[in-house]
Amino acid sequence: MSRTTFPPGFAGTPGGEPPPTRLRIDPTGLRRPLDSLPGVGKVTARRLAAFGLETVGDLIEHFPRRYADYRDRKDVRDLKLGEEATVRGLVEKVSAERTARKRVTVVRAVVRDHTGTIEATWFNQGYLTRVLEPGTYLSVRGTFRPRGGRPTFLVRSHEILGEDDESVHTEGLVPVYPASEQVSARLLRSLMQSVRDDMRRLGDPLPAWLRLKEGLPTRADATLAVHQPRTPDDARRARARLVLEELVLMQVGLLLHKRLRQERVRATPFAAPGRLSAAFAAGLPFTLTAYQRAALDEIEVDLRRDTPMRRLLQGDVGSGKTVVALFCLLRAVESGLQGALMAPTETLAGQHAETARRLMGDLAAVELLTAALTARERREALARIAGGEAAIVVGTHALLQEDVTFRALGLLVVDEQHRFGVEQRDELVRRAENAGRAPHVLHMTATPIPRTLALTVYGDLDVTTVAGAPAGRQPVVTRVVDEARRSEGYEFVRRQLRKGRQAFVVCPAIDESESISAATAVAESERLRAGEFRDFTVGVVHGQLKPAEREAVMADFKAGTIDVLVATSLVEVGIDVPNATVMLVEGAERFGLAQLHQLRGRVGRGTARSYCLLFSSAESGAAKARLEALLETNDGFELADRDLEIRGEGQVMGARQAGVPDLKLARLARDRDALVRARALATTILDADGELAGPTNAPLKAAVDEAFGDELAWLLRA
C-alpha cells in the first residue's frame, strides 16, 4: 500500500537522518566581516549589515546598477559655460560665508591648474573649511556657469587626491551602486577600492574548457572590470561573463536537483492506452485540439517510464489543460493505479470533481475530499481511497495528510503550480512517496509563464504547453472605464443583464487582510443591491465564508438565480459559468497583469460575446502600462512577457522562490539569450559528468553546493 505520509527526517537518507551540516571553510577570506576593512568602524558595519552587506564576499557581489560617465576631464582654460566636466588642481584659497538670511553656508575655493583658475563653490558643506587648505590637490566634478556676475564652478562631487592618485568618484566611468540613506554610493565605491586584492584572488567556478569555448575572461578579471571598467565595452563584456556564470550555476543546480531526485526513487510505468482511454476520448462533447493531443503525446512518453515524471503543464486561459490532466488521471486508473488532483482552494477542487464526474461518467469513481465533509463522511471517503474503490481523488492539500492512504497512487496532479517554489514542490512529492516508489507528478498552471521564468522558477521541471484555444471560443472584448464614464459602464452591464446574461463584479484587495477584503466585497454588494443593480439579484462570495455557504452561493450563480456575483479575487480560478458575459473589475490598477488576465478568463466560456470592464483611476506608471497591455492582446503568453518587462522577475516570481538562488546581475527580461545558452551549457556539463565528480568540475560543484544549500549538497555527496 502506498502511504502519503513521509518518514521523519530527510527523505531518502539512510535511517531518515538529516543531511550532514557543511563545514564552511574560507580560504579566500571572502567571509571575513566588513569591520575588518580599513575605516569601517562598528557604526558603519551595523549600517552595512542592515543594508544586507556583512562580509567581503557580500560587498564584492554588490554590483553597480549603472555608470556615470565622467571621462570628460578638462583643463580650466577649456571649460565652457553651461557644461559639466571634471577639473583637477591645487587649492589656493578657501572661504565660507552665510547668505543674507543666514540659512545657507557657501564655501568657495580657488583652484588652479597649469592653465588657469576657477572658483569652486559648495552649498551647505561648511565642514570643508576644516578639510580644504592651500596646497590640497583636488578633483572636482561640476558645472561651469555664471553666478552673481562672475563664472563659478558649481561642485557636484569632489575628492582629495595625491597628484598620482587614481580618482574614484569624479573621473572615468564611475559606478553607481544601489544605496540607501545610511549607505551611500560614495561609501560603497571607497570600500570597493579596499577589496580590489580580494577580487583578484577570486576563484573561477566555470571549467577552463567552457571559458575557452565561450571566449570568457576569468571571474576575477570580470569582477574587477564590472566594478572599475575602463570603457563601456569593458563593463558590458564583464557583465555578460558574470551573468552567464550566474545562470550556468542556476541551471546546473536545477538540472542536477531534477536528475538526482529522479534517480533516488522509481515510479510504476503505465500500461499502454486501452479501452478506458478510447471511451473517454469518444465520450467528450468536443474534439480535442491538435495542441491537446500533442501535449498528451508528450506526457505519455513520461508515463510509460519508471522514472518519475516531473512535468509542468501550462496553457492560456481556456486552452483545455484540465481535460488533458483528467485524461492522464484516467490513464492511471487504466493501469490499475489511482490518480489524485490537488487544488489550492475548495472551490476549485469542487469544480474539478464536478468536471471529472461529468466527463468520465462511469469510467472511474471520483472522490472529493474537502474540509466540508462531516467526520463520518470523511472516514467513509478515506476507507474508499485506501481500498482503491476511489479511483480518482480530488481535494486540497488535505490529500497529503497523514490519515490519507492510497492503495496505489500512480499520478498526482497539482493545480495552480505557480503558488509553489522548488522546495515546496519537493515536499509535496515526498509526502506521496513510499519505500522508494513515487507517483508521476503533473504540475498544472493557468498562468502562462515566459520561457525565461520556465527555465528558472520551474527549471527542475519539464514543460509542456497547450497552445491555442478550443474551437468557437471568442476573444473577450476589454475596455478601461475611467471615473468620468462609470455610469456608462454600469448601464452597459445592465443591458447585458436584461438579455438574461450574468456578470461578475470583482473588488480589489485593500491589503493582505482577508477579513478587510471580505468586508469590502460585502459593502460593495450592498451598495450595488440598493443602487446600480437594484432591479437584479446580487450575491456575494469571499474567502471568509464557510465552505458550505460559499458553495451554495456559487451553485445559485451557476443555476442563474443570482444575476450579479460580487466577489474578491478568489473567482480568479475555478469558476465556470458559460452564461456570465461580463467581468467588471473595480480598482483594476490594484491587480497584477496575470491576475487581471485570469479574471478576464472567467467570461467568454459560452457562445455569446463577452466583455471585461476595467474600472480604474490609473493615469500613468506601471498600472497604466498593465491595463494598456490587456487592451492590446488576449494572448496570455504575450502578456506574461509584458508583465516580466513591466515589473521585473522579482515581483513576477513573488516572494523569493525557496530552493532557487537569488540573481545578482542577471535580469530575465534582458538576458533571455544568455539563459537559453546557460541551459545548453549546463546540459552539456552534466551529460559529461552527471554528479560533477571530476576534478575539473570541483570548483563548479562547490559553487552549486553553496548556491543551492544543504539538501543539494547532500545529494551531491550521497
**Higher pLDDT, residue 43 or 436:** 43
Q: Report, as an integer, the average pLDDT of 479-484.
A: 88
Q: What is the pLDDT of residue 15?
A: 35
Q: Count the alpha carbons within 13 Å of 222 in the hemisphere toward its beta carbon.
A: 23
CB 70 within 8 A of CB 173: yes
Q: DSSP labels for 585-626?
A: ETTGGGS-HHHHHHHHTTS--SSS--EEEEE----SHHHHHH
CA distance 68 to 65: 10
Distance CA 35, CA 47 (A): 11
Q: Write the pLDDT tens digit of every residue in 586-613.
A: 988 888 787 888 888 888 887 889 999 9
pLDDT of residue 37: 93
Predicted confidence (pLDDT) at residue 14 exceeds the cutoff of 80: no
Residue 419 CA to residue 385 CA, distance in Å, equals 26
Predicted local confidence at residue 347, as pLDDT:
74
For the stretch 333-362, pLDDT in tens is 999 999 999 887 777 888 889 889 999 999
The rounded distance, in Å, linking the Cα atoms of 543 and 595 is 17
User: What pLDDT score does 628 carry?
Assistant: 87
Q: What's the confidence (pLDDT) of residue 474?
A: 74
What DSSP string describes 112-164? EETTEEEEEEEES-TTHHHH--TT-EEEEEEEEEEETTEEEEEEEEEEE--TT
Grid cell for residue 651: 515581483
Q: What values do phi and psi take at 579, rounded to 5?
A: -80, -10
What's residue 630's pLDDT?
Answer: 86
Q: In the prediction, which pLDDT does 22 show?
A: 40
- SS3 at position 532: coil
Which among 265, 257, 342 is positioned nearest to 308, based on CA atoms? 265
CA distance 220 to 203: 7
DSSP-derived letter for residue 569 is G
pLDDT at 201 over 60: yes
Q: Which of 29-33, 465-469, 643-647 has the lowest mean pLDDT?
A: 643-647
Report the distance separating Cα 619 and Cα 483, nearest Å.
11
3-state helix, strand, coil in the chain (%, to 5): 40, 20, 40
Domains in the chain, start-ordered, CATH in brackets?
72-170 (2.40.50.140), 275-466 (3.40.50.300), 477-633 (3.40.50.300)
HSE-up of residue 97 (Cα within 13 Å, Cβ side): 7
**Percent of the chain scored above 90 by pLDDT?**
49
The answer to whether the beta carbons of residues 141 and 155 sit under 8 Å apart is yes
> Alpha carbon 24 to chain centroid distance?
30
Which residues fall within 8 angstroms of residue 237, CB to CB, at 6 or more apart? 217, 222, 225
DSSP summary character for residue 657: -
Alpha-carbon distance of 131 to 565, in angstroms, equals 70
pLDDT band for 10, please (50, 70, 90 cuts): very low
pLDDT tens per residue, range 262-316: 777 889 999 999 999 999 999 988 888 898 999 999 999 999 999 999 888 988 7
* Per-residue model confidence (pLDDT) at position 360: 92
Spatial distance between the Cα atoms of 194 and 180, rounded to a whole number of angstroms: 20
pLDDT digits (tens, 9 = 90+) for 648-672: 555 444 433 445 566 788 887 688 8
pLDDT in tens, 144-170: 987 766 778 999 999 999 877 888 999
| pLDDT at residue 143, as a whole number | 93
Cβ distance 519 to 586 under 8 Å? Answer: no
The per-residue pLDDT of the chain, averaged, comes to 83
Q: Is residue 712 left, alpha or beta, with left meaning phi > 0 and alpha meaning psi from -120 to 50?
A: alpha
Query: Can you read off the three cell numbers belonging to residue 699?
Result: 570548483
Least Cα distance to 400 among 390, 385, 389 occurs for: 385
pLDDT value of residue 422 = 54
pLDDT of residue 26: 57
First to last CA, the chain: 27
pLDDT digits (tens, 9 = 90+) for 535-591: 999 999 887 777 778 878 888 998 999 999 998 876 544 567 889 999 999 988 888
Q: How far is CA 356 from CA 94, 323, 361, 463, 700, in A?
A: 85, 9, 8, 24, 47
Q: What is the pLDDT of residue 19?
A: 40
Q: How confident is the model at residue 424 (pLDDT cuts 50, 70, 90)?
A: low
- Residue 440 is inside which H or E element, if any? strand 440-445
Q: What is the arithmetic mean of pLDDT over 448-466?
A: 72
Residue 367 pLDDT exceeds 90: yes
* Bridge partner residues of 414 (DSSP): 342, 443
Cell, residue 541: 462570495
- Confidence band for 21, pLDDT divided at 50, 70 and 90: very low
What per-residue confidence (pLDDT) applies to 718? 43
> What pLDDT does 538 receive?
95
Q: How many CB atoms lie within 10 A of CB 217?
A: 18
Work out the average pLDDT over 218-241.
95
Residue 458 has what pLDDT?
67
pLDDT of residue 658: 47
